[in-house]
Structure 1
Amino acid sequence: MPSCTLPISPEPPDWSAARQELRDLLTAAGWSAELIADAELALHELFVNAWKHGGSPAPVVVVALLADRALRTLRVSVADDSPALPEQRTRSADPYELSGRGLHLVRSLTHRFGAAPHRRGGKRVWFELDSAA
């Protein structure tokens, strides 16, 4: 029997639940509106990249808030189905290109950013954002 693969929708999947969970967590923890907005934008970039470049019709998002006495760290990871790690561009995209700035944006909004393969053949792209406790 021939195999059939379904095309990925031309529209990105709904990320509103992930965004709302992130917003609720950070608001309850007393994070500033500015840091919450930075976290939401960074999450959006990773989510869309997982759909667009990672071939995931429904990217998996994991949000964790870690705290010690002096610092709180938000860690967000988005998993997709592609084993290809993101390119580490040394310069930003041409200002007239329609894409290519998302990971630069994530890097500029967050304190740490990276990617790692995971066991099932895809990868997790993550960022961390710090706030004073």
Structure 2
Amino acid sequence: MQFTSSPRGARLARRTAVRHLEQWGFPPSSDASCTVALLVAELAANAVRHGRVPGRDFLLSLVYEVRASQFRIEVSDACPDRPSADPVAPADEEESGRGLFLVDILANRWGSAPRTPVGKTVWAEYHASTTCVVET
């Protein structure tokens, strides 16, 4: 699916993912839907904020592998700069910078790859049976 490289496009990508999960049998209030929605939101927001190239949209691919009970989220943008494989949590007083840190916590695996002819794809995999408990 293709979305405009804007905050509105990122929100629409998240909402579209939630609708697809519901069609696959994961209600919006389920752990799987909430986690995948957050992963899509963070990757799409990063594509808009850090990967935006004027006049270019970003792409979202969402695949559910039934046998493995696994979701694969891919967000592609036109900027070739790939994220660090070891995201660091920002200081408590920082207002932003937690996106890939959250992805690192919630996804079973994630990474990035160059995209042909231009740009990159950042991907994350999440197993629906995985339970994530975040203590505060």
Q: TM-score, normalised by structure 2?
A: 0.77
Q: Hey, what's the Cα distance between the residues in 1 that align with 2:8 and 2:58?
A: 8
Aligned counterparts, 1:31-110, within 5 A: 31=26, 33-56=30-53, 58-68=57-67, 71-89=68-86, 91-110=88-107
SS in 2 for 1:96: coil
Partners of 2:93 and 2:49 in 1: CA distance: 20
Aligned to 2:115: 118
8 Å CA contact retained: 1:12, 1:48: yes
The structure with more radius of gyration = 1
- 1:16 Cα deviation (Å)? 4.2
* Gapped regions of structure 2 (runs ≥ 5): 130-136
RMSD of aligned Cα (Å): 2.1
Quick one: structure 1 residues 92 and 79, their matched pair in 2 at CA, closer, same or farther if it must change by over 3 Å? same
**2:13 is equivalent to residue 14 of structure 1:** no
The TM-score with structure 1 as length reference comes to 0.79
Letter in 2 for 1:118: R
**Counterpart residue type for residue 41 of structure 1:** L
Q: What is the identity, as a one-letter code, of the residue corresponding to 2:125?
A: E
Is contact 1:112–1:128 with CA below 8 Å preserved after alignment?
Answer: yes
- Cα distance in structure 2, aligned partners of 1:67 and 1:36: 15
Give aligned pairs, total.
Answer: 121
8 Å Cα contact 1:13-1:58 kept in structure 2: no
